[in-house]
Structures are given as structure tokens and as C-alpha cells.
């Protein structure tokens, strides 16, 4: 079974998580199929704390991937408050 979960990175006391699609049997920080976003819990609310590629998230969930409880909550929050669009370059 395929799952969508967090993979921890960063240094001691400075966590940084990537949102990855992986086989359920793989270790937390092991082999992954695809990286679809990141979550930085130490970033202030004014910065880029969470980014998710919703197209790829929908693609994997349509094919049977199960998100973890934490990832489902983060994606729900991301959908309610999407980041502001970047200004167009002229």
C-alpha cells in the first residue's frame, strides 16, 4: 500500500519535514516515490511554513494512497488558507 507521510530532516532541535509519497513498508526517512511538499514548523506564520503540490496529492489519493493523520490535517489547513500568489514578473 502507498502512503503519504512526513519525512524528517533538519538538525537537532530544528525539525524540517518533507511530505513524501512512499511504500508503507519503507522506513520514515527511507526510500520514497515522490516529494510533494514540505512543512517547516519553526517558520513564523508570516513566512512559507507549508507548501503542498495539490495536483500531485490528488493524483496519488485518486490511485489509493492513504495520507497520515498529520498530512491530512496539514493539507486541509493548506486548502483553507492557500498562500498568496507571487507577483508577476514584468
Report the run of H or E that residue 77 belongs to, with start and end.
helix 69-80
Beta strands in 27-69 (DSSP E): 34-39, 50-52, 66-67
Q: What is the pTM of this model?
A: 0.85
The CATH homologous superfamily of the domain defined by 2-80:
Ribosomal protein S16 (3.30.1320.10)
Q: Where are the domains of the chain?
A: 2-80
**CA 29/CA 35 separation, integer angstroms:** 12
Confidence of residue 63 (pLDDT cuts 50, 70, 90): very high
Confidence of residue 43 (pLDDT cuts 50, 70, 90): confident
Amino acid at each position: 500500500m502507498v502512503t503519504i507521510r512526513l519525512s524528517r530532516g533538519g538538525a537537532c532541535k530544528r525539525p524540517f519535514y518533507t511530505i513524501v509519497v512512499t511504500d508503507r513498508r519503507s522506513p520514515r526517512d527511507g526510500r520514497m516515490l515522490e516529494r510533494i511538499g514540505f512543512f517547516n514548523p519553526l517558520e513564523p506564520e508570516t513566512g512559507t511554513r507549508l507548501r503542498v503540490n495539490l495536483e500531485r496529492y490528488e493524483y496519488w489519493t485518486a490511485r489509493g494512497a492513504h495520507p497520515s493523520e498529520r498530512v491530512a490535517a496539514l493539507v486541509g489547513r493548506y486548502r483553507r488558507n492557500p498562500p498568496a500568489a507571487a507577483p508577476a514578473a514584468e
